[in-house]
Chain A
Amino acid sequence: MSGLKETAMNDVALSSAPRLSRRDVVHGLAAGGSVLLAGRVGTLELFAQEAARAAAINAFIAIAPDGKVTLQCAHSEMGQGISTTFTAIIADELEADWSKCETVFSPAGKPYRHPLYDWQFTGNSESIRAYHALIRKMGAAAREMLIAAAAERLQVPAAALTARAGRVHHAASRRSIGFGDVAAAAAARPVPSEPRVKPEREWRIVGHGRSLPRIDIPAKVAGTAVFGIDVKVPGMVHAAVVSAPTIGGQVAAVDEASVAGMAGVIKVVPLGGAVAVVAEHYWQARLALAKLKVDWQTGPGGRFDDAALDAMYRKAMRGDAGWAQAEKLGDALGVLADSQRIIEAEFEAPWTAHTPMEPMNATVAAADDGATVWAPVQGIQMTQVVLANVLKLPPEKIVINRTYLGGGFGRRLLADFVAQAALCSKAVGRPVKLIWAREEDIRQDWYRPAFLHHIRAALGADGSPAALHHRLVAPSIIKPVSPTPVKPGTVDALAVESLVGHPYAIANRRTDYHMLEVPIPTMVLRTTGQGPNNFALESFIDELAHAAGRDPYQYRRQLLAHDPVALAVLDRAAVRAGWGKAPNGHFQGLAFADGFGSYLCQVVELSMVDGAIKVHKVTSVCDPGRVLDRVNATSMIEGGVVWGLSVALYSALTFAEGHVRETNFDAYRVATLPDTPALVTDFLENRKTLGGLGEIGPVCVPAALCNALFAATGKRHRRLPLAREGVFTVYGKIYG
């Protein structure tokens, strides 16, 4: 179905998935299954026994004699439902019986790497769209191998056989044979080079409005699902960590005697920018950490604060140095110079933290000849590479067991917390589970940086934008996860996302980007550059519509008139939200996005109660090409809306004395249950290629909310979050 560079990807598909020996697969499955087995906890021994009986058809599929199908999920489950949908796609193509399929998290390995980047990670809303062609081909190849083996067994031509629900059927003789009965023979057959991938109309498990109950949910509501923090390894001890009081600061000296004799304390381990105490139990480590005397060197940024940071942004915005041109269409500067009607505005999105509910943690057993990791990581290969460096071992000696992730939002792409656990394990010679307190989770975060935008537009005679010049100052967000070096003075493709290549018909367009260098670690966070950029652009488009005296929905319709697929999203959102028909005293705002391969339009409806916002309803219409699981897709958008409300209303980090001020949820505010309005979510499936759903959901909320706020109050808010601007929700007022 999808375009998705199908040819190139298919070429990669089989060549990147070498046939694994049974021994390899058993080892790999055992590693993946030691912690988690299809949503239930399985023992290593039990799983190894099951895996040993299974025939590995390819790197993604193994089938046991009893017909049980084990499917490898290359990605990490952090709430997006990938452990169900990823393997359901394979099962569908395989013509398996879904009730006999189990998902395991794959080991780190070449067959499971992103087909284009040759790098295994879970992020950028790419888990389905990048792997779709590959895993369908894997399922199709296995199905054909099973059919070929059955043909031999039944002594009939393969063309007379069909696979369905875990069996191969011979219609003429009304005979059928289970996958398990021919799996071993199938595994020994040659891999077909061009298996027939099923057309969409033959999908039986995914798509067509279907939903599967997520496999991870029963264990998650029973409290038995194993997250990283829940791992238990024989002989394991615990580590607690404190980091430097200034960002980038280092340990100068540690007084180990200050905790000598404290109950359970095993060792104090300096970690460069942090210090760990390893103890028999976690709280013993915390108690000792509170007593530990450490001298710290100040970080390279010194005791910088908000004012110093703000001055850096403003200076960069005013200056001519350090700019790189990210996009140039027509002659925006020329048109602006000649224009009589110029609108300009500055927008600012704040510093924010990832704060998944499960703080960073990892369990590592490091030995001289290898290390085993049990951890909630998005950066699967990153973890392997980082630990290989830290422990001076070859990457293949680092075995990664992935647990469930209690949220990720990008933070777990990095492996700094795993490296700390590895160093502690090496220091004490025992497996160590290292857990960051929430304060450390925020203080050792790699933040979403502030984005400062200056936008100018020239309005044509009909009020539509004839030219747009966008200047963005923001530190790089891709740098810590980029496979290639990122240099100042160049364009960070993720930081300028949604500004470059936007579908709006604006003939003269220029986007300039200044990669600001700051003494603070920065990286991607859910919605990457889309979030802050959409807030600026879609607020500004609303300003243009207002200046032109036009309805914001109709104004955008004109800008998307050339793109019927985008227009359909806008129109459906207007219908579902009842655009222009809000009840008396309610006000609406909308915004549109093209991100992660999906189109999205969101409409926020709110009212003002004694000067405070009450959000009544958020309508979302998304076109991700195909909806493979309707309920889960809806979950992604619904949860995304709440994330967007946090961003719009509450969340911001500020700096003083060289570090963040907000270090827990009492000060770093996020949306809660009372903030959650009625949610209307709908999908279209018109895009030609498959889009992502994990990050698009929040993208339009801040602009749509601020546009609705403008409709209600006549005041334009160009700086987030609104709480910082003295604008509160009715619940924000109540709960502070």
Chain B
Amino acid sequence: MAKFNFTLNGAPAEVDVDPSTPLLWVLRDHLGLTGTKFGCGVAQCGACTVHVNGGAVRSCAYTIDSVQGADITTIEGLSGDGVHRIAQAWIDHQVPQCGYCQPGMIMAAAALLSAKPKPSLADIEASITNICRCGTYARIKQAIFAAAR
């Protein structure tokens, strides 16, 4: 066990956990933020996507000892008190089906739009590599284009 400090959704956070604990389980299990989902544990599916220092990372394969002092944003922090414009685009296009992968999708989309405010289809195809078993990809593409407008 060891103590780790970082900024979480704009506020200071501290946990005392095994250094090998993935950020995902620190968020879900120790800090109670369950919007970030567990899907594969091997950084393949992206359901656990969060932002670390502004970039999208897959928190299931990101151990807590690598985020000491980092600035972390989760789906809960992205939306804040209102509805984030990307989340609103997701609502407008009725994107989610089961919805389990969608917080990760939205975090991946937010990172893409920060880096490229007007992404091309090729940009979207190259950066949104998250898995959705319900197959909502067509509407995800539409929603990202709408949010980029």
Contact = CB atoms under 8 A, between A and B. Distances in A.
Given A407-B134, A665-B131, A672-B131, A438 B41 contact: yes
Nearest to A358: B100
Interface string B27-69: 0111011111111111011010000000000000000000000
Contact of A79 (B37, B91, B99): B99
Given A225-B99, A438-B39, A407 B76 contact: no
B34 A230 contact: yes
Contact of B137 (A284, A404, A407, A642): A642
Contacts of A359: 38-39
B5 interface: no
Contacts of A78: 98
A405 B141 contact: no
Nearest to B88: A221
B97 interface: yes
Contact of A263 (B18, B28, B90, B94): B18
B12 interface: no
B102 A283 contact: no
Interface string B115-149: 00000000011101111111111111100000000
Interface string A350-378: 00000111110000000000000000000
Contacts of B98: 77-79, 356-358, 404-408
Interface stretch (A1-9, A211-219, A292-300, A341-349): A211-219
Contacts of B72: none
Contacts, number: 192
Given A357-B131, A673-B129, A665 B44 contact: yes
B125 A409 contact: no
Given A287-B18, A437-B41, A673-B124, A638 B138 contact: yes
A586 interface: no
Contacts of B97: 79-81, 635, 639
A632 B94 contact: yes
A216 B141 CA distance: 21
Given A406-B99, A407-B100, A664-B40, A223 B30 contact: no
B126 to A, nearest CB: 8
A227 B100 contact: yes
B133 A355 contact: yes
B1 A221 contact: no
B8 interface: no
Contacts of A407: 98, 100, 133-134
B111 interface: no
A640 B135 contact: yes
B114 interface: no
A421 interface: no
Contact of A638 (B37, B87, B106, B135): B135
A727 B134 CA distance: 24
Contact of B36 (A218, A222, A223): A223
A320 interface: no
A578 to B, nearest CB: 19
A224 interface: yes
Interface string B80-105: 00010001001100111111111100
Contact of A283 (B18, B79, B126, B129): B18
Among B38, B47, B91, B101, chain A packs the most CB atoms within 10 A around the CB of: B38
Contacts of B25: 281-283
A221 B106 contact: yes
Given A238-B29, A405-B98, A218 B133 contact: no
Contacts of B40: 438, 664-665
A632 B95 CA distance: 10
Interface residues of A, number: 66
A220 B99 contact: yes
Contacts of A671: 135, 137
A550 interface: no
Contacts of A140: none
A154 interface: no
Contacts of A679: 138
A566 to B, nearest CB: 26
A635 to B, nearest CB: 6
B7 interface: no
Contact of B34 (A216, A229, A672, A674): A229
Interface in A420-451: 435, 437-439
B125 A673 contact: yes
A221 B90 contact: yes
A56 B73 CA distance: 44
A624 B36 CA distance: 36
A643 interface: yes
Nearest to B64: A283
Contact of B103 (A223, A282, A284, A731): A223
Interface string A635-664: 100111111000000000000000000001
A138 B127 CA distance: 49
Contact of A672 (B91, B103, B129, B138): B129
B100 A676 contact: no
Given A287-B20, A407-B134, A673-B128, A282 B87 contact: no
Among A80, A213, A223, A631, chain B packs the most CB atoms within 10 A around the CB of: A223
B90 A217 contact: yes
B135 A639 contact: yes
A209 to B, nearest CB: 15
Contacts of B30: 281
Nearest to B77: A223
Among B87, B94, B98, chain A packs the most CB atoms within 10 A around the CB of: B98
A437 to B, nearest CB: 6
A232 B45 contact: no
A200 interface: no
A130 interface: no
B42 A666 contact: yes
Nearest to A666: B44
A545 interface: no
A670 interface: yes
A435 B41 CA distance: 12
Given A358-B98, A674-B125, A435 B138 contact: no
Contacts of A632: 94
Nearest to A220: B99
A238 B38 CA distance: 14
A218 B91 contact: yes
Contacts of B37: 227, 229, 357-358, 406
A405 B99 CA distance: 9
Given A642-B135, A679-B138, A283 B21 contact: yes
Interface string A612-638: 000000000000000000011001001
Interface string A263-307: 100000000000000000111100100000000000000000000
Contacts of B75: 222-223
25 contacts: A79-B97, A221-B83, A221-B106, A222-B83, A223-B35, A223-B76, A223-B79, A227-B100, A263-B1, A283-B18, A356-B133, A357-B133, A358-B98, A407-B98, A437-B41, A438-B39, A641-B135, A642-B135, A642-B137, A642-B138, A643-B133, A670-B131, A673-B129, A674-B125, A676-B137
Given A227-B100, A665-B45, 16 more contacts: A79-B99, A217-B90, A217-B96, A221-B79, A221-B87, A230-B34, A287-B20, A357-B45, A357-B100, A359-B38, A406-B98, A406-B99, A638-B135, A638-B138, A640-B135, A673-B129
Interface of A: 77-81, 211, 213-214, 216-218, 220-227, 229-230, 232, 238, 263, 281-284, 287, 355-359, 404-409, 435, 437-439, 631-632, 635, 638-643, 664-666, 670-676, 679, 731, 735
Q: Which 10 A-B pairs have the closest CB atoms?
A: A223-B35, A642-B135, A406-B100, A220-B99, A79-B98, A79-B97, A223-B75, A639-B135, A230-B34, A676-B137
